Amino acid sequence: MTNILIIDDDVTFCLMLKKLLEKHHYQVTTVFSPKDVKRMIRQEFYDVVLTDLRMPNVSGMDLIGMIKLESPETQIIMMTGYANISTAIQSIKHGAFNYIPKPFQPEEVLNMINEALKDTSERLKTKNPGNEKKQNNFLDGISKVSIRLKELISLVAPTSLSVLITGESGTGKENIARSIHNKSMFAHKPFVAVDCGAIPKELVASEFFGHSKGSFTGAIADKIGYFESANGGTLFLDEIGNLSYATQIQLLRTLQERIIKPIGSNLEILVDVRIIAATNEDLQIAQEQGNFREDLYHRLNEFQIEVPSLRERKEDILLFARHFLDQANADLKKSVSGFEPDVEYVFMNYGWPGNLREMKNVVRRATLLANGKQIRMDDIPSEIYIQQKNKEQYHLFNEQNESELIRSVLGTVGYNKSKAARLLNIDRKTLYNKLKLYQILDSENQ
């Protein structure tokens, strides 16, 4: 039976969530004080941990590191208010599987747990030779930067060059790595993905190079490391900048010599793997600060691909939204046909700080909530109406622009004043005053 731990100082919420999950035949434990978590993780294995992002005296970020150190295979789902989405996205970099905004529907959390368990199963498969490859979900965009991205993938894929993929969190770097692998001469060989930020430093050598039974406390059986699992194929090192300096030295030596030695073994194993690394950090700055080795950087960066953010791919936004809608319909057994025009307008003008990952979550949640054939404004989080960087997307500037903008937004939302006020980031009373000031009439009176 799947074992789940819920961590939240809101006792009522904890108990309600526990009751829901137990109805679906999960074994559930609740804890209201984060100080008890370490003891519990050591005493029992939990397949999934659901934890609040912000609790008194402790951050959910701190819990991620502790849980992953004690139980690397445990999947962590952060629960957060939508206002904290940017922080929740950072939690994924620290090792969380995903985040879910509060308040959420029962189906949302159940689907998220199923996804986490499925991901665990797929990761275990990649560690064992002979298992099927995970399907690539890479989608070609139609924007200029997307066409250029596709050209670079096609250019480097047939070669044996190491590739460094850079870009913001959530831009789909792993899918690009899989696309390179699937178009390469190594396509019939394993593709092994490693989240470098989620490996406890005490276990890095064992995870990368394997170990022999009895080589250290807890080594109850021989273990094949990532390099041996990927032999002949591709090893994808995500968030490479999170590796410690000592691990970087070991990795560099392995890439130079193409030989690994499992912990506790005298056996040297020849490995032939193509390395694709990814990072959302500036590794050149990390070099200057002494956090990343220059020689390793050049070894990894034989060919670099910079993945554009979603806000740089305006022409692709609705294409990706419909792609995620198709996925959500299939997964949730729904038949939502599309988005209302005002939703499309909001999607096109939102900054998407979490990029494709955030969009996928928003569309998936909206698909679940949708009662009609199309996703409406009420189905998406109101927080995405507001631009979160530098200035508000719908800020009113001067008198002429203000009048034009109000008319444009009203037309987009079918003269629904409540929706227009939300998009303009003003209250209804202010909107009515401006309608009167600029003599903007309802559509039916024009």
Domain final position from 284, 306, 328:
306
Is the pLDDT at 392 greater than 70? The verdict is no
Return d(Cα 68, Cα 321) in angstroms, integer.
32
- Residue (of 358, 339, 330) closest to 135 by Cα position: 330
Q: How far is CA 360 from the centre of its chain?
A: 9
Domain final position from 306, 336, 356:
306
- Residue 438 has a pLDDT of 81
- Residue 11 has a pLDDT of 86
- Residue 329: give the domain boundaries: 316-385
Return d(Cα 64, Cα 75) in angstroms, integer.
10
CATH number (domain holding residue 9): 3.40.50.2300
Are both 180 and 296 inside the same structural domain? Answer: yes
- The angle subtended at Cα 399 by Cα 395 and Cα 402, nearest 5°, is 40
pLDDT tens, residue by residue, 274-303 = 999 999 888 988 888 889 999 999 999 999
Give, in order, the Cα–Cα distances in Å from 205 to each of 72, 188, 194, 236, 250: 14, 27, 13, 16, 8
**Cβ–Cβ under 8 Å, residues 424 and 394:** yes
Classify residue 323: in a domain, yes or no: yes
Classify residue 371: in a domain, yes or no: yes
pLDDT tens, residue by residue, 207-227 = 899 888 877 777 777 888 899
Classify residue 129: in a domain, yes or no: no
Classify residue 131: in a domain, yes or no: no
Is the pLDDT at 140 greater than 90? The verdict is no
Instruction: Give the mean pLDDT of 54-75.
Output: 78
Is the pLDDT at 346 greater than 60? The verdict is yes
- Residue (of 425, 361, 363, 365) closest to 391 by Cα position: 425
Classify residue 137: in a domain, yes or no: no
CATH number (domain holding residue 340): 1.10.8.60
pLDDT tens, residue by residue, 300-330 = 999 999 999 998 999 999 999 999 999 999 8
- Residue 443 has a pLDDT of 45
Report which secondary-structure segment, H or E, holds 52. strand 48-52
CATH number (domain holding residue 178): 3.40.50.300
- Residue (of 143, 144, 257, 281) closest to 209 by Cα position: 257
Using CA of residue 323, residue 142, residue 307, residue 136, what is the dihedral sign? positive
- Residue 400 has a pLDDT of 56
Classify residue 127: in a domain, yes or no: no
Are both 365 and 253 inside the same structural domain? Answer: no
Return d(Cα 119, Cα 380) in angstroms, integer.
26
Give, in order, the Cα–Cα distances in Å from 88 to each of 62, 364, 375: 13, 17, 24
Is the pLDDT at 73 greater than 70? The verdict is yes
Are both 183 and 292 inside the same structural domain? Answer: yes
Name the least confident of 11-20, 137-146, 228-237, 421-430.
421-430
Pair of tokens at residue 293:
């080795």
Classify residue 133: in a domain, yes or no: no
pTM over 0.85: no
Number of domains comprising the chain: 4
Are both 265 and 165 inside the same structural domain? Answer: yes
Return d(Cα 137, Cα 148) in angstroms, integer.
18
